[in-house]
Amino acid sequence: MDDARKIRRTDASGTCPVTRAADGTWQVRGYAEARAVLRADATVQAGLGVETVDKAPAGIRRPVLYRDGPEHREHRRQTARYFTPRRVDEHYRELMADMADRALARLRTDGSAQLSDLSFGMAIGVASAVIGLTESRPGIRRRLERFFPEKFGRPGFTSLSGIYWMGRQIYSWGSIYLADVRPAVRPRRREPRDDLISHLIAEGCTDAEILGECLTFAAAGMVTTREFICVAAWQLFTDEALLDRYLKAEEPERLAVLHELLRLDPAVARLRRRTTADLELPGQVTVPAGEVVELLVDEVNADPRAVGSEPLSACPGRALDAGAGPAVLSFGDGPHRCPGAGIAILETDMFLTRLFALPGIRMATAPRVGFKDEIGGYEIRGLTVTTG
């Protein structure tokens, strides 16, 4: 069977839709079962650092990523206007074109660059506009790189390494607050604007709570988009037929190509939920209350019951199970489905169409792949592009 994936996280040897791991975690590989978990009322977020957030003082509001139930749904309802297709088209399309041109300016001048640097500049510019981080002092990329390093250590007070990472974490939080969040919050408290930070201020959020929300959106809107742009470019550089199809296509078909590449290589491939009551899944499987359920998104996205034959091949526009989106579960599903899915795909297309339009563009060095085990994410580094 043809396997077009660039990212190999597991041997994908499991065939049962739901299994129990040795540590007691329920692992889900089937699409119908995974969607049922994500849409269930009897689950809450697990993983993604939620255990640390649970230790915060009761008076501090959690970022939306860590909330569930009516409070979460109401927040999503109120902020949905920032992510509608019409708003993306009317408010962000021109911005994306400008950000892509800025990100590629260095490549045009120097003739060579690291794609991870170029794509990060694009992702930061677009997400900052959506969030409202538009008064940042110089160096936001450096601050974000420090906050989201390639390798994380475990903060603590029982070892020199733990103390180092604790200090680094506190410093990173403080630098982003002082250089990015506070400069954005101050003018919006005086005169609200049409962005996420202004909405949070209107809700009565403190500066610390706004910082938490901004970092959550930075992780989702900047870091994961950066990686997907890189892996999509890698796919197109190494598949001449697919690249030719992409470059000749109109926008809807180009977006279909990108959705299919994201289906194959989801930027976040591990989602966790904890059951709050017995949960019935398709196939007469019952997950008891209080259990952790892990969704293996890369394997879910290759479930032939949902995506048809040859699930590991790149086939844009393939027939999918009723209700499945073109990227299947790469953007999640249910209440926590990624609100910025349309933004991420469109900005990727805006960047890549301009990248591949550069005369003589080629991949000079293949990338190395690193992993973020806690989310099953990947990091693409070392992919050098040149125009010579």
3-class secondary-structure state, position 205: coil
Quickly state the pLDDT bin for 344 (edges 50, 70, 90): very high
Q: What is the pLDDT of residues 60-88, one digit of tens each?
A: 677 777 778 888 888 888 888 999 999 99
Find the range with the poorest average confidence among 38-42, 164-168, 321-325, 368-372.
164-168
3-class secondary-structure state, position 331: coil
Name which of 274, 259, 254, 234 is nearest 344 in CA terms: 259
Q: What distances in angstroms separate CA 13 from CA 29, 370, 373, one per listed residue?
A: 11, 21, 18
Selected residue with higher pLDDT from 347 and 376: 347
Looking at the chain, the whole-number percentage of residues with pLDDT higher than 70 is 91
Could you tell me the residue ranges of all domains in the chain? 18-386
Residues sharing a CB contact under 8 Å with residue 248, sequence separation 6 or more, in sequence order: none
In angstroms, rounded to a whole number, what is the distance separating the alpha carbons of residues 137 and 151?
A: 26
Q: What distances in angstroms separate CA 111 from CA 66, 252, 269, one per listed residue?
A: 43, 30, 34
pLDDT at 13: 53
* Residue pair 4/264 in contact by the 8 Å Cβ criterion: yes
Quickly state the pLDDT bin for 172 (edges 50, 70, 90): confident
In angstroms, rounded to a whole number, what is the distance separating the alpha carbons of residues 365 and 200?
A: 43
pLDDT at 62: 72
Residue keyed to tokens 């030719």: 244
DSSP character at residue 62: P
In angstroms, rounded to a whole number, what is the distance separating the alpha carbons of residues 45 and 68?
A: 7
At residue 340, does pLDDT exceed 70? yes
The partner residues of 385 in beta bridges, in order of sequence, read 113, 363
Quickly state the pLDDT bin for 146 (edges 50, 70, 90): confident
Find the range with the poorest average confidence among 18-22, 31-35, 219-223.
219-223
* Residue pair 214/181 in contact by the 8 Å Cβ criterion: yes
Find the range with the poorest average confidence among 120-124, 314-318, 321-325, 342-346.
321-325
In angstroms, rounded to a whole number, what is the distance separating the alpha carbons of residues 351 and 104?
A: 8
* Residue pair 362/386 in contact by the 8 Å Cβ criterion: yes
In angstroms, rounded to a whole number, what is the distance separating the alpha carbons of residues 202 and 338?
A: 23
The partner residues of 192 in beta bridges, in order of sequence, read none
* Residue pair 168/48 in contact by the 8 Å Cβ criterion: no
Q: Which element (helix H / strand E) includes 194?
A: none
At residue 372, does pLDDT exceed 90? no
At residue 12, does pLDDT exceed 60? no
Question: Within 10 Å of residue 76's Cβ, how many Cβ atoms?
Answer: 16
Q: Quick one: CA dihedral 16, 21, 27, 33, positive or negative?
A: positive
The partner residues of 377 in beta bridges, in order of sequence, read 372
pLDDT at 152: 60
**Token pair for residue 244?**
């030719």
Quickly state the pLDDT bin for 185 (edges 50, 70, 90): very high
3-class secondary-structure state, position 208: helix
Name which of 233, 218, 221 is nearest 349 in CA terms: 233
3-class secondary-structure state, position 363: strand
202-210: average pLDDT: 91
pTM of the model: 0.92
In angstroms, rounded to a whole number, what is the distance separating the alpha carbons of residues 103 and 101?
A: 5
Judging by DSSP bridges, how do beta strands 362-365 and 384-386 pair with one another? antiparallel
Please list, residue by residue across 32-46, b when 16 or more beta carbons sit within 10 angstroms of its beta carbon and e when fewer do: bbbbbbbebeebbbb
CATH fourth-level superfamily of 18-386? Cytochrome P450 (1.10.630.10)
In angstroms, rounded to a whole number, what is the distance separating the alpha carbons of residues 274 and 44?
A: 5
The partner residues of 114 in beta bridges, in order of sequence, read 384
Average model confidence (pLDDT) for the chain?
89
